[in-house]
Amino acid sequence: MKELLDKIISDGTVLEEDILKVDSFLTHQIDPELMSLIGKNFADKYRDKKITKIVTIESSGIAPAVFIGLELGVPVIFARKQKSLTMNKELLTASVHSFTKKVTSEISISTKFLTSQDHVLVVDDFLANGQAALGLIELCHQAGATVEAINIVIEKSFQNGRSLLEDKGYKVDSLARIKSLKNNEVHFIE
Ligand code: 5GP
C-alpha cells in the first residue's frame, strides 16, 4: 500500500537493525486517515468472505482492527494482556512472548465474544516471529472459531513469522513487507 510505504519512509525510525519505530502514526500517536485507508485496503480483500469478527491484541493492533471492522461491519475483539488468568473458566487464554518487550504474557479473550460460529480475521500492527499471531490463533481455536487470514500492517520479512504461519496453513496478508532494516534504512520487498 503506497501511502503506508511512503509514511514508513518519511516518519519511521530504525532501531537496532531489527526494530522499526512508527510511534508517530501507528503504535502511539495514530494517523486516522492512514488507518482508514488500511481498513479499506484489507476489507476489500475479504468483503466476499463471511467474516464475523476481527481479533487483535492490545494495544497497537486495535487501531487498524477497528477500521477493518468498520468497513466489514463486524465487531472487533482485542485480546487483553494480563498476568494470572489461568484459573478463570470464562476466558480463553494463551501465552505470548513479546518480541519487543522480551517478556511472556498471558493473553485472554472472554468466551462470550468468540464462538464456533465465528469466521475471524486476525489483525496485528507488526509481524516479526509470529508469536502474537500464534497466540491469537490459539484463542480462536479454543473457541472453535475459523481463522480465515492473518492481516498484518507491517511485516518484517527477514524474520520468520510469515513462514511459521504459512507452514501451519494460514494465509498471511501484509500491507508493507520489509526485507531489511540494515544501515538504518528501510528496504521493502517490491
Ligand atoms: P511477533 O509476535 O510476530 O514476534 O512480534 C509482533 C509483535 O511485536 C507486534 O504485536 C508488535 O507489537 C511487536 N513488534 C515486533 N516487531 C516490531 C517492530 O519492529 N516495531 C514495533 N513497534 N513493534 C514490533
Question: What's the whole-number mean pLDDT along residues 154-176?
Answer: 98
Give the domain extent around 183: 2-83+90-188
C-alpha cell of residue 58: 492490545
Per-residue pLDDT, 72: 98
Given a cut of 70, whether residue 87 has pLDDT beyond it is no
Non-local CB neighbours of 85 within 8 Å, separated by 6+ positions: 91, 93, 106, 108
Is the predicted pLDDT of residue 190 greater than 90, yes or no?
A: no
Number of folded domains in the chain?
1
- Using the structure block, give the residue that is written with the C-alpha cell 496453513: 169
The alpha carbon of 60 and the centre of ligand 1 are apart by a number of angstroms equal to: 9
Q: Report whether residue 128 contacts ligand 1, using a CB cutoff of 6 Å.
A: yes
What's the CA-to-centroid distance between 123 and ligand 1, angstroms?
Answer: 12
Give the Å distances, CA to CA, from 116 to 60, 112, 134, 155, 180: 26, 11, 18, 29, 39
Which atom of ligand 1 lies nearest, measured to the CA of 124? 10
Q: Is 132 in the pocket of ligand 1 (CB under 6 A)?
A: yes
What is the per-residue pLDDT across 111-120, written as a single tens digit (0 to 9) for each?
999 999 999 9
Domain of residue 50, CATH code:
3.40.50.2020
Above pLDDT 70, what percent of the chain?
96
Determine whether the shortest distance from the Cβ of 100 to ligand 1 is under 6 A. Answer: yes
Q: pLDDT (tens digit, 9 = 90+) per residue, 53-71?
A: 999 999 999 999 999 999 9
- The DSSP annotation for the chain comes to -HHHHHHHHHH-EEETTTEEE-TTTTSSS--HHHHHHHHHHHHHHHTTS---EEEEETTTTHHHHHHHHHHHT--EEEEEEES--TT-TTEEEEEEE-TTT--EEEEEEEGGG--TT-EEEEEEEEESSSHHHHHHHHHHHHHT-EEEEEEEEEEETTSSHHHHHHHTT--EEEEEEEEE-GGG--EE--
pLDDT score recorded for residue 2: 97
The whole-number pLDDT of residue 17 equals: 82
Residue 156 annotated as binding site: yes
Average pLDDT score over the chain: 95
CA 162–ligand 1 middle distance (angstroms): 13
Give dist(CA 52, CA 42) in Å, integer. Answer: 15
Cα 98 to middle of ligand 1, angstroms: 7
pLDDT at 84 over 70: no
How does pLDDT run across 120-137, given as a tens digit for each residue?
999 999 999 999 999 999
For residue 97, is pLDDT > 80?
Answer: yes
Q: For residue 45, is pLDDT > 60?
A: yes
Indicate left, alpha or beta for 184 from its phi (over 0: left) and psi (-120 to 50: alpha): left
> 102 pLDDT exceeds 80?
yes
| 102 CB burial (10 A radius; 0-12, 13-18, 19+) | exposed
What mean pLDDT is predicted for residues 36-54? 97
